[in-house]
Amino acid sequence: MFRDLSFDEFSADEPPHTLLDVPFVPSDEKSVDAMLNLAGIGPKDVLYDLGSGDGRVVVAAAKEWDIRAVGIEMDPLRNEEAMEYANWVKVNHLVTFVEDDLLSADFREATVVTMYLLHSVNIELRPRLLNELKPGTRVISHAFDMGAWRADERVQFSGVNIYKWIIPAQVAGTWEWKRADGKVCRVELKQEFQRVTGTAWLDDKEVFLTKTKLRGYELDLSISDGEDSDPITYPMRYVDNELRARVAGSQATTAIRVASKN
């Protein structure tokens, strides 16, 4: 994919600041390709690269996908090098490099976050990623995971893991909606990252919550009236603190948060 993006060629042609005081380990071209493909980038995405170094991920995203991309990097020399590279590739109108601490920088507008950091830094960043990014935002990490927050997807490239997480909507709590037959469904959900468990009731009678699946802002709940009855699946989308039906069917009304009765 990056046949027009040669980092070696750039560095051979008047390389800016090849000797820097702060060492870093850049992702190679093929790893950058794998990371961006795993992110599933679309034309409306905004990418933030945390610890952007020489800017290769940011420049590649702008060059290959024509999207706006932002690099967060503390080292001013790296940022200068990255901007010179963006000018050389002619994507300077799409990219920004910000001199800031990645642990405190504002990245809330991102729809894709990429990073090649230490495991300990990933863990420190984890609460901010979960609490500040919009549901559905994709987070891609080269080599290091997020501890107890298991990746939604993982691929191996040249023997190295590349991880993908999708920021989950915050759905913990009690929700209530009406079925098409007029009966009232209620669920009380508990959540740990994208893992959801809970209890369900139908017209205040406890029934079986047989399956849950949370992926970004999409939540599927399967509820069975009894041990011998087939479960009904409710595909929902989290929007403005409501759970709206994604398809017409058994869910007659939007699910809203209610006070727990238990």
Query: Which pLDDT does position 6 carry in this prediction?
Result: 45
SS (H, E, C) the chain: CCCCCCHHHHHHCCCCCCCCCCCCCCCCHHHHHHHHHHHCCCCCCEEEEECCCCCHHHHHHHHHHCCEEEEEECCHHHHHHHHHHHHHHCCCCCEEEEECCCCCCCCCCCCEEEECCCHHHHHHHHHHHHHHCCCCCEEEEECCCECCECCCEEEEECCEEEEEEECCCCCCEEEEEEECCCCEEEEEEEEECCEEEEEEEECCEEEEEEEEEEECCEEEEEEECCCCCCCEEEEEEEECCEEEECCCCCECCCEEECCCCC
pLDDT of residue 158: 87
Kindly state whether residues 209 and 232 are assigned to the same domain: yes
Per-residue pLDDT tens digits for 225-257: 987 789 999 999 999 999 999 998 889 999 999
Claim to verify: residue 158 and residue 32 sit in the same structural domain: yes
The residue to which tokens 């610890």 are assigned: 51
In a domain, 262, yes or no: no
Its domain, for residue 241, covers: 173-257
Q: Residue 261's pLDDT is what?
A: 81
Do 150 and 217 share a domain, yes or no?
A: no
Is 2 contained in some domain?
no
Instruction: Decide which of 113, 139, 166 is a domain's last residue.
Output: 166
Choose among 205, 255, 196: nearest CA to 226.
Answer: 205
Same domain, yes or no: 36 and 155: yes
159 and 228 within one domain: no
Checking if the pLDDT of 17 tops 50, the result is no
| Model pLDDT for residues 102-160, shown as the tens digit of each residue | 899 999 999 999 999 999 999 999 999 999 999 999 999 999 999 999 999 999 988 99
Residue 44 is assigned to a structural domain of this protein:
yes
Residues 233 and 140 in one domain: no
User: Based on the domain organization, do 28 and 130 belong to the same domain?
Assistant: yes
Do 12 and 59 lie in one domain? The reply is yes
Query: What CATH number does residue 121 fall under?
Result: 3.40.50.150
